[in-house]
Amino acid sequence: MAIRISILDFELIKMSSSESEVNRNNNEQITVKKSTFNIVIIGLIITIGVAAFFAGSYTSTLNSNQISEEVLDKALAKLELKILQNQLPTKQPALPVKISGDNDPIIGNADAPITIIEFSDFQCPFCARFHTQTLPLLLEEYIEQGKVKLVFRDFPIQSIHPNALPASIAAECANEQDKFREMHDMLFEKQNEWNKLEPSDTLSLFSQYASNIQLEQNAFDSCLTSGKYIEEIKNDLNDGRKYGVSGTPGFFVGNDQVGYVELKGAQPFDSFKKVIDVQLDT
């Protein structure tokens, strides 16, 4: 099925022109340097006084011979978590950092105490690595147990991933029929099948994917070609930039009470586990 839509092509060109040159960093993350947006990235602010306070508190605890190794490990983990939290940009360092999940699709129990907010690009190979290697472990240990939920926010990097925006729209359209997870999984698992196609051919293939996961075809195709979710995706992009996201995948782990810890790139399961376990224990 050949699907043509002028508004989508226009928006793709418009969004592509606003993106700047992208390179890969040592964290296996694709980073975006913006010249057309006023982005202020606040550096890592951990004062010697704060560090000394926590170090002193921990040292005074060490003076007791009655403290178990488990207690010491927890104290170290909480100190590390506090340091990670202080790395996030915030106008009020004394308060927990808040990161909005907007109204984006959720994988897991919406009432889970800990949230992973992901800014992702369906065409990004490192995002696909996270979703095929790390996410299954998070699902097994935390998400399916109701302890953690994952909020998926779109961050398509059009300058190098011209099919990322159509893929985001396809996932949003599937979400209308309560099948975001099915489309999400298919897009990442079959990334090599569609990532080098022309955008119009990509739309036709996504329509086929919709049929494979038994979506109502006419409703999906109408949604896909209307461009109705372009503004929603732009909002995700703007929020990501506001939070200092410069590449994909980017994660914020936590909640409004304990604050959020930022994890950059396709981090292994252990990186998430270290943060989540301390937050659940807080």
Predicted confidence band of residue 210 (pLDDT cuts 50, 70, 90): very high
- Rounded to the nearest integer, the mean pLDDT of the chain is 77
Query: Bigger pLDDT: 239 or 61?
Result: 239
User: Is pLDDT above 90 for 48?
Assistant: no
Q: Are 168 and 223 in contact (CB under 8 A)?
A: no
pLDDT for residue 21 is more than 90: no
For residue 150, give the 3-state DSSP assignment.
Answer: strand
For position 179, what pLDDT does the model report?
A: 97
Percent of all residues in the chain with a pLDDT value above 70, rounded to a whole number: 66
pTM for this predicted structure? 0.69
What's the pLDDT band for 238 if we cut at 50, 70, 90?
Answer: very high
Answer whether residue 111 shows pLDDT above 80: yes
The pLDDT tens digits of the residues spanning 247-270 come to 999 999 999 999 999 999 999 999
**DSSP string of 66-95, one letter each residue:** T--HHHHHHHHHHHHHHHHHTTS--S-TTS
- DSSP label of 110: T
Where are the chain's structural domains? 6-37+96-281, 48-85
Indicate if the pLDDT at residue 77 is higher than 60.
no
pLDDT at 98: 87
How big is the CA angle at 11 (ends 9 and 13), to the nearest 5 degrees? 70
What pLDDT is recorded for position 61? 32
- Rounded Cα distance, 239 and 244, in Å: 9
Among 41-45, 55-59, 133-137, the range with the most confident prediction by mean pLDDT is 133-137
Fold of 6-37+96-281: Glutaredoxin (3.40.30)
Q: State mean pLDDT over 102-119.
A: 96
42 vs 120 pLDDT, higher one = 120
pLDDT (0 to 100) of residue 200? 84
Determine contact, residues 250/232, Cβ cutoff 8 Å: no
